[in-house]
Amino acid sequence: QIETVSAQEILDSRGNPTIHVTVSLTNGVIGQAAVPSGASTGENEAVELRDGDKNRFGGKGVLKAIAAVEGEIASAVAGLSALDQAAIDGAMIALDGTPNKTRLGANAILGVSMAAARVAASSLGLPLWSWLGGCGARRLPMPMMNVINGGAHADNGLDMQEFMIVPVGASSFAEAVRFASETFHALKALLHERGLSVSVGDEGGFAPRLSGNDQACEVIVEAIEKAGYEPGKDIAIALDPAANSMWRDGHYELRGAKMLTSNDMTALYGRWIDRFPIISIEDGLAEHDWEGFAAHTAALGDRVQVVGDDLYVTNVQYIETGIRRKATNAVLIKLNQIGTVTETIAAVDVCRSAGWGYVISHRSGETEDAFIADFAVAMGGGQIKAGAPSRGERTAKYNRLMAIERALGDSALFANPFASRGSGE
């Protein structure tokens, strides 16, 4: 039974305040969790409650969310069984009473939801992945690792937000991390040789001033080769253009190419898929462009995984619309877009029943908390996106996954989720 709930203001990886929650049970067991925060957020995401008091953290303080946790939420969940995640989350949703968790804050609610899952696992003596995933959970996710940052995550003038490597040829999670790390360092050396910056963006990828978006793909292919791997076969490329940020008045605006239509954008990606070993494209179009997305997926969906992030915001209602409209064929899953563990699992369930892929994802503002590592194994979809193989808040997730793989021993499963699609070449 839950006895007390407390919260504290801590810093995220961008140095902004976020919320850290502790749930204590009557038997003395505690569970803790920290909430991440996005920068290129979807319009319909659950609301992150910030104080707005310019005298503290430029208005970004989370004391109101903490007050909600320690006041109303603590009273509402006290006495509930920590093992009943749905009841805890349901009580908070009802207490909040708004569609987007605007009253209490999705950050407040999610912190309690995640900490409750942790305390339940601890009280049963189970690791989190096993508690949330059941005894069948044994699949490690294929990582998509962001090695070049642009868009809202860097100030290098690159339009597209994320250029990721996917070690599809690795035979274990630990090997995937090694493939990615070696490629990351080969890329660093290449950028350095060319006099380009090797400082990193919000998600740990490099943020060089390249002259065009396609140059990011070019240099990544070179880095893969330089590291001794075969592009496409050993290591493929995934993109998150986060096209919301290129959307202006019904058109897409890229450096040097103004006023592109959705069809122009889709054609551009098509040409890139011809040239580079791309296997997945997330948010290739903007979140309002439902019609564009249907055409985009009809054109590219057989060649690559088409992932919706801002379009769905991990909300069952929008994912169901996407399935009906064949808008994409996969979904990005972020706990803080919707605000409870229960609703996030419901979003995954909808993807599974549609036969769609789903990628468990971090946010650009992260903490040391590796909750999503356990969550990815529990959900079993075989895909995670957690940033570069560098920076502590990113490596916390990958290191945790290597520990889970080791704990699983012979029963660990690591399979390439893209095998049935071909390498994308």
Catalytic one among 60, 101, 334, 397? 334
- Specify which residues 166 forms β-bridges with: 236
Please state the closest distance from residue 385 (CB atom) to ligand PGA, in A: 7
Residue from 13, 18, 22, 40 that binds ligand PGA (CB under 6 A)? 40
Segment holding 115, helix H or strand E: helix 106-124
Please report the DSSP string for 294-356 in residue order.
HHHHHHHTTTSEEEESTTTTT-HHHHHHHHHHT--SEEEE-HHHH--HHHHHHHHHHHHHHT-
CB 36 within 8 A of CB 344: no
For residue 287, the minimal CB distance to ligand PGA (Å) is 11
Least distance from ligand PGA to the Cβ atom of residue 383, Å: 13
Contact with ligand PGA (CB under 6 A) among 156, 262, 280, 364: 364
CB of 281 to ligand PGA, least distance (A): 12
Binding residues with Zn ion: total (CB under 5 A): 3
Residue 395 CA to its chain's centroid (Å): 14
258 is in an annotated binding site: no
Helix (H/G/I), strand (E/B), else coil: 179: helix
Alpha carbon distance 6, 74 (integer Å): 8
Member of 39, 294, 299, 412 binding ligand PGA (CB under 6 A): 39
Q: Which is nearer to ligand PGA, 282 or 405 (CB)?
A: 282
State residue 250 phi and psi, 5-degree precision.
Answer: 85, 0
* Residue 389: DSSP 8-state: S
* Options 38, 241, 284, 357; binder of ligand PGA; rule CB under 6 A: 38
Sheet hosting strand 17-25, strand order edge to edge? 2-11, 17-25, 30-34
Is 203 designated active site? yes
The listed partner (ligand PGA, Zn ion, none) that binds 13, CB under 5 to 8 Å by sort, is: none
CB of 114 to ligand PGA, least distance (A): 17
- Asked if 245 touches ligand PGA (CB under 6 A), the answer is no
From 153, 82, 154, 157, select the one nearest 112 (Cα to Cα): 82
Choice among 45, 162, 182, 203 that is catalytic: 203
Cβ closer to Zn ion: 203 or 240? 240
Q: Is 161 annotated as a binding residue?
A: yes
309 vs 405, which CB is nearer to ligand PGA? 309
233 assigned ligand-binding residue: no
Cα–Cα distance for residue pair 82/380, rounded to 1 Å: 23
Q: Is 334 a known ligand-binding residue?
A: yes
The Cα–Cα gap between 324 and 403 comes to: 39
Binding residue (CB under 6 A) for ligand PGA from 32, 41, 123, 328: 41
The answer to whether residue 334 is catalytic is yes
Is 32 labeled as ligand-binding? Answer: no
**Local structure of 5: helix, strand or coil:** strand
- 385 appears as a binding residue in the annotation: yes
What is the arrangement of strands in the sheet containing 257-260, beginning at the earlier edge strand?
247-248, 251-254, 257-260
- DSSP letter string, 31-83: EEEE--B-SS--TTSPPPP----TTTGGGT--HHHHHHIIIIIHHHHTTS-TT
User: Whose Cβ is closer to ligand PGA: residue 187's or residue 360's?
Assistant: 360
Binding residues among 265-284 for Zn ion as defined by CB under 5 A: 283
Q: Does 240 participate in binding Zn ion (rule CB under 5 A)? A: yes
41 binds, among ligand PGA, Zn ion, none (CB under 5 to 8 A by kind): ligand PGA
364 in a labelled binding site: yes
Distance (Å, rounded) from C-alpha 214 to C-alpha 298?
A: 23
Q: Which of residues 270-289 bind ligand PGA (CB under 6 A)?
A: none
Which parts are annotated binding residues for (2R)-2-phosphoglycerate? Answer: 161, 334, 363-364, 385
Task: Give residues in contact with Zn ion (CB under 5 A).
Answer: 240, 283, 309
Residues taking part in catalysis = 203, 334
Task: Give residues in contact with ligand PGA (CB under 6 A).
Answer: 38-41, 240, 242, 309, 332, 361, 363-364
